[in-house]
Amino acid sequence: MSGQSITDRFAAAQHSMTGSAISKAVCKATTHEVSGPKKKHLDYLIHCTSEMNVSVPQLADTLFERTANSSWVVVFKALIATHHLMMYGNERLIQYLASRNTLFNLNNFLDKGALQGYDMSTFIRRYSRYLNEKAMSYRLVAVDFTKMKRGTDGVMRTMSTEKLIKTLPIIQNQLDALLDFQANPNELTNGVINAAFMLLFKDSIRLFAAYNEGVINLLEKYFDLKKGQCKEALDIYKKFLYRMTKLSEFLKVAEQVGIDQGDIPDLSQAPSSLLEALEQHLASLEGKKTKELSADTRASTLSSAVTSLSSTGMSFSRMDEKERLQALEEEKARLQALEEEQRLKEIGVSLPPSASPSTQSMGSVNHNTNQAMELFNTPSTNSMPNLSSDLFDLQPAFIPVVQSTPSISTAASAWGGRTETCIFLPTITTIFWLGLCCHKIIQL
C-alpha cells in the first residue's frame, strides 16, 4: 500500500478535534505510506522532548500504541520515530524508556495481510530487540554510548579497569543486537526499512567507536593486571576481534546501498602478534611453561596495536563532523530565512503562510512558535481539503443545516441606519418533517 490511507486521515482529523498535538504528530509520522517518517514531524517531536510542559511518558505511550497496529508499515515507522528521538531528542526521553520494565514486545509480530508483510515483520522483530537493548544499556550505565565524549580524554579512555571490565560486555550486547538486523542489499527495498537501516548505521559507527576506545584503554593496562583481570580482558579482546569482522560485513552492505563512502570508516585491525603476546602473558601468570616475549618486544607490539586501533577511532569521527556541519548549515539557512521574513514585514510586505521563508526552512529542533502552531493548524471550514497535502488534514467543509441568502440591504431608515432582511430557505430535512406531520394529521 502506498500513500496515506483513509484511516490515517481520519485519525489526524480526530486528533485535531481533540486538540492533542503530540498524538497528531505521532500519527502523521507513522502513516501507512511506505516511506520513512517525514522530517518535519520528527523535528516537531524532537522539539517536544525538550519542552518542560510536554509529558514525555505521554509521548512515549503514544508511540507504543502505534506499535500495536496490525500494519507492518505503521509499526516499523513507530520504531523508527522512537529510535530517532532516542538519538536526537532530549535525554529525558531515553531516561524514561530505560525506567520502564518493558518496551517493545514484538517478538511474535507478523503482518500476514500486506505484500511485504512476512519479510518486513522479521526486521521489525530484530529492530525492536535492538531498541530494547539500547534502553537496557542506558539503564545499566546511565549513559548513551553513542553520545559519550570520545578522544584521549573521553569516557572510555579514562575509565578504571574495574569499570571497563563491567562496561565493555554491555557495549558488546548492544552491538550484537544491532548487527543481528542482518539486512542484505536486496532486502532494503523500500523507504521504511531504508530509514531504519540508516539510523542503525549511524548507531553502529558511534557505538563501535566507544567500544574501540574502551579496548584501547584495556590493552594499555593489560600487562599490569592481575591474573583474573587478564583472563577477562583477553576474552573481551577476542570478542572484540570477532565483532570487528561482523561490523565490516555490515558496512559492506551500507556501501552497496549507496551510503557515502566518506561516511564509512576504515577498520584497521591490530597485528596478530598482539593476540599471541596477550595469551603468552596470561599463560605465564597461570604458571604455564611458555616463551615469554621480552619487555621491548611486548611494548613495541602493544604500541603498534594501539596506533592501529587509534587510527580506526579517528575515522569514526568523520560522520559526526559531517552531521555537525550539516546542522550548522541548516541553522544558518533558518536564521537567514527568519531575517528575510522580518525584513519583508518591516517594509510592509505580507507573505502567505505557504510562502513564508520560516515555514520552508527545516531546522532540527529550534522551531519558533509560529512554525509549531502552523504544523497543526486545521484548514478553514469554508474551503475544501487538499487531499494531496502531506499534512492530510481531512476537515470536510461545514455546510449549515439552515442556509440563508445574502442579506438584502434596504434604503436608509429614518434613524440614519440600515435595515437588513434575511430570507431563509427550507432545507430537505425541514420539508421531510413537515411532510411526515401532514401524513400523521391525515391519518388522524
Residue 397 in any domain: the answer is no
DSSP 24-64: HHHHHHT-SSSSPPPHHHHHHHHHHHH-TTS-HHHHHHHHH
Task: Name the domain boundary from 292, 315, 339.
Answer: 339
Is residue 272 domain-shared with residue 414, that is, in the same domain? no
Per-residue pLDDT reduced to its tens digit, 198-228: 999 999 999 999 999 999 999 999 999 999 9
Task: Specify the pTM.
Answer: 0.72
Is residue 155 domain-shared with residue 256, that is, in the same domain? yes
Note the pLDDT of residue 346: 78
Is residue 412 domain-shared with residue 305, that is, in the same domain? no
Note the pLDDT of residue 9: 59
* Between 12 and 369, the higher pLDDT residue: 12
| CATH number for position 196 | 1.25.40.90
Task: Name the domain boundary from 304, 339, 374.
Answer: 339
Is 312 in contact with 212 (CB distance < 8 Å)? yes
Residue 401 in any domain: the answer is no
Is residue 291 domain-shared with residue 434, that is, in the same domain? no
Question: For 343, which DSSP code?
Answer: H
Exposed / middle / buried, residue 286 (Cβ in 10 Å: 0-12, 13-18, 19+):
exposed
Residue 304: which H helix or E strand, with range? helix 295-346
Cα distances from 102 to residues 23, 121, 132, 133, 331, in angstroms, run: 21, 20, 8, 11, 37
Residue 347 in any domain: the answer is no
How far apart are alpha carbons 126 and 129 in whole angstroms?
A: 5
Is residue 422 domain-shared with residue 276, that is, in the same domain? no
Cα distances from 367 to residues 62, 125, 364, 376, in angstroms, run: 22, 34, 8, 13
Residue 226 in any domain: the answer is yes
Neighbours of 183 (CB within 10 A): 21
Contacts of 251 (CB under 8 A, 6+ apart): 204, 264, 265, 267
Is 44 in contact with 87 (CB distance < 8 Å)? no
Residue 344 in any domain: the answer is no
What is the total count of domains within the chain? 2
Per-residue pLDDT reduced to its tens digit, 141-178: 999 999 998 888 999 999 999 999 999 999 999 999 99
Domain that holds residue 136: 6-339
* Between 397 and 159, the higher pLDDT residue: 159
Task: Name the domain boundary from 339, 362, 380.
Answer: 339
Residue 422 in any domain: the answer is yes
What the block records as the C-alpha cell of 291 is 616463551
Is residue 334 domain-shared with residue 428, that is, in the same domain? no
Neighbours of 352 (CB within 10 A): 7
Residue 393 in any domain: the answer is no
Q: Is the pLDDT of residue 351 over 70?
A: no
What the block records as the C-alpha cell of 225 is 593486571
Contacts of 224 (CB under 8 A, 6+ apart): none
Is residue 197 domain-shared with residue 315, that is, in the same domain? yes
Is residue 143 domain-shared with residue 268, that is, in the same domain? yes
b/e map 383-395, b = 16+ CB within 10 Å: eebeeeeebbbbb
The identity of residue 154, as a single letter, is G
Is residue 422 domain-shared with residue 297, that is, in the same domain? no
Question: Which pLDDT band, with edges at 50, 70 and 90, does 134 fall under?
Answer: very high
The identity of residue 231, as a single letter, is K
Q: Which residue has the cell 616463551?
A: 291
How far apart are alpha carbons 133 and 131 in whole angstroms?
A: 5
What the block records as the C-alpha cell of 274 is 598482539
Is residue 328 domain-shared with residue 428, that is, in the same domain? no
Is residue 429 domain-shared with residue 326, that is, in the same domain? no
- Least confident residue range of 44-48, 69-73, 398-402: 398-402
Q: Is the pLDDT of residue 319 over 90?
A: no
- Least confident residue range of 1-10, 64-73, 278-287, 377-386: 377-386
Is residue 416 domain-shared with residue 314, that is, in the same domain? no
Residue 414 in any domain: the answer is yes
